Chain A
């Protein structure tokens, strides 16, 4: 594991890696204080992260709370950027199943292309695998055509063995993506957790033939960390997995660091925060 952390990504590979990472971002805002104005500004950045560097692609998606899905959808219309919505009483999931399903249906109705749900840690930590699976199955049904990402909240799972087990449950229940974290817990996507999930995913995909994607979220705030994620994917699953259809990164502040590192690689100058817009 530590060898993968020491890969040295330079020059051309770095530029390409940064563009790739940007194309995989689910640019996220999940605050109580989010308003339509805030979401529109974020969406503009997701659609065109760097007006001066047109070769840098759009992000994969914007990720917002259900109440703001409509605003997001209008803001990204025609750009190819997806709208992802958290749902199921995110982030704790501590509401009745009925409320969580309704939460999902409303987000889908408002136009979400993707739903990021949370598994019931309450059920999981009590050992009730059957209930965990059943709930995911029902949420998947409520998604209709929308893609379902299942958040494990790995910070709350006691061990790597549990991360692997929960990943398997989610995939067996029909998840389109497995995701590490809500971004609201103390710890997000650590390299160890990501590696365990990628390995579980690899085993599942090889066994069943069904492709499931993976999304680390929370704790990826620097380019170095983002590129390290790409290294993990490349060396565990291969280059074919380096696409937003199979891998996303849930983050917000990392985008500016990616842009800054891109500039640095092009111009040789170490950068400053003011050169990049803050939404």
Chain B
């Protein structure tokens, strides 16, 4: 080889890097999980759960009805008495077993989560499943230390807790609900979202494998009607709900006059605030992480981008350039950044609000990318020239759409950020520590991220102000919703 070949410009494309799904074994059909067993639903109803990236059916899943709910509550009441009577460390040991089993079956759970919900495998694998196991591990350790977390007062479990979780982080939300409930000596009846029941059902199998006493955990797959029946059932002592603000309000009203505890984790329109003294490249990464993580299907998504006017042009240019590097496609491909939208209904909601944004006069830019033929997809979108009055600045879109507004002073940023009926999260980008803490102190948001976004940990309390809900999940604060203190 005498002469080097001529150096030409080329393109370097990533080859497909699909996660192989062949070791995953799912049943053709799943019933309800009550009393430690799977059974056909008394309602007689079931429906297929669908892969939103391919529209292929995965399995048939029960739709629990009122009779199923009543039966589950009865079984749970009985089981809860014995569960609460166990020595606390023994309760903790069951939860440690569950945490370990989740770690052992991590890959299977990640793949099923991606297939059922549409999120990229990289996220299921690296965030959802590890955090879910970590929540069980964390609360396992609290089971015999509740007195330390609740400063030595008398406390007892509520009894039977009804828990309803959404489709955006199915297994993780199930873990956020079940782990503290069980650690505190309650029995739980969990209703997963109708489009994403599978990982909750695999969790039921894990509970069986852990030999969790029958009836301590029930899983009732179903739809809105199932959830409505559950919160109105006789014999429940507490409700925990994560989902849309509209349904949250329904539930709160439905519990009127009843002595039933309630915690809600609802929607948001969180402000991500970029000050002129931020590290701009770092802030752009944070903006992307804040709104395009999980296709923007995140209650605390940084969907309102507030940028100080003096750096607005620079941020906009860098953000748009960065957005174009996002890879949309097969969620099971390890290089995919943006997966499928969870359902046709959600896609329609996103499209409707985006159309409204264009009508109201904001400037829309959507990245160019190949959209697969089948499945539900929405390409990352940036709106600029947005005003606070626009619907796209006020209403939760719950998709990969960011609305960018400008501000001039710190006081204005805080005022705009707080000017929302929501108050779930906020992001602050500045290199001045003092400023970051000062702004954080004035934001009406339950979670404030400084120079980062979308970080979660079992020890760090999470929850919202105002119509983003009440009650906290995570840490010692996450115990208090699950006990009655006297």
Give chain A's interface residues, CB within 8 Å of chain B. 1, 3, 6-14, 16-17, 20, 23, 47-48, 51, 54, 57-58, 78-81, 161, 196, 199, 230, 234-235, 239-240, 242-245
Contact = CB atoms under 8 A, between A and B. Distances in A.
A93 B202 CA distance: 62
A79 B4 contact: yes
Interface string B89-122: 0000000000000000000000000000000001
A57 B337 CA distance: 32
Given A58-B1, A243-B7, A244-B7, A7 B281 contact: no
B4 A243 contact: no
A13 B12 contact: yes
B5 interface: yes
Given A48-B1, A79-B2, A9 B7 contact: no
Nearest to B122: A6
B3 A79 contact: yes
Interface in B1-33: 1-5, 7, 9-17
Given A8-B17, A12-B15, A3 B9 contact: no
Contacts of B12: 13, 16-17, 20, 230, 234, 239, 242
Contacts of B10: 16, 20, 239, 242
Given A6-B126, A7-B335, A9-B17, A239 B11 contact: yes
Given A6-B126, A199-B281, A11 B15 contact: yes
Closest 7 CB pairs of A and B: A80-B4, A8-B17, A13-B15, A8-B334, A58-B4, A48-B1, A199-B281
Contact of B285 (A1, A23, A80): A1
Using C-beta atoms within 8 Å of the partner chain, give the interface range for chain B.
20 to 34
A51 B1 contact: yes
A54 B122 CA distance: 36
Interface in B329-356: 334-335, 337
Given A51-B1, A58-B4, A78-B3, A3 B325 contact: no
B395 to A, nearest CB: 29
A53 B426 CA distance: 54
Contacts, number: 67
A246 B13 CA distance: 19
B335 A8 contact: yes
B17 A57 contact: no
Contacts of B126: 6
Interface string B292-325: 0000000000000000000000000000000001
Nearest to A231: B14
A235 B12 CA distance: 11
A58 B3 CA distance: 8
Contacts of A47: 1, 4
Contacts of A230: 12
Which of B3, B13, B335, B337 has the most C-beta atoms of chain A within 10 angstroms of its own C-beta? B335
A57 B4 contact: yes
Which of B11, B279, B281 has the most C-beta atoms of chain A within 10 angstroms of its own C-beta? B281
Interface in B224-282: 279, 281
Contacts of B285: 1
B19 to A, nearest CB: 9
Contact of A7 (B4, B9, B14): B14
A54 B1 contact: yes
B256 to A, nearest CB: 46
A78 B281 contact: no
Given A11-B15, A78-B3, A6 B334 contact: yes
Contacts of B3: 78-80
Given A6-B334, A8-B334, A242-B10, A14 B5 contact: no
Contacts of A58: 1, 4
Contacts of B4: 47, 57-58, 79-81
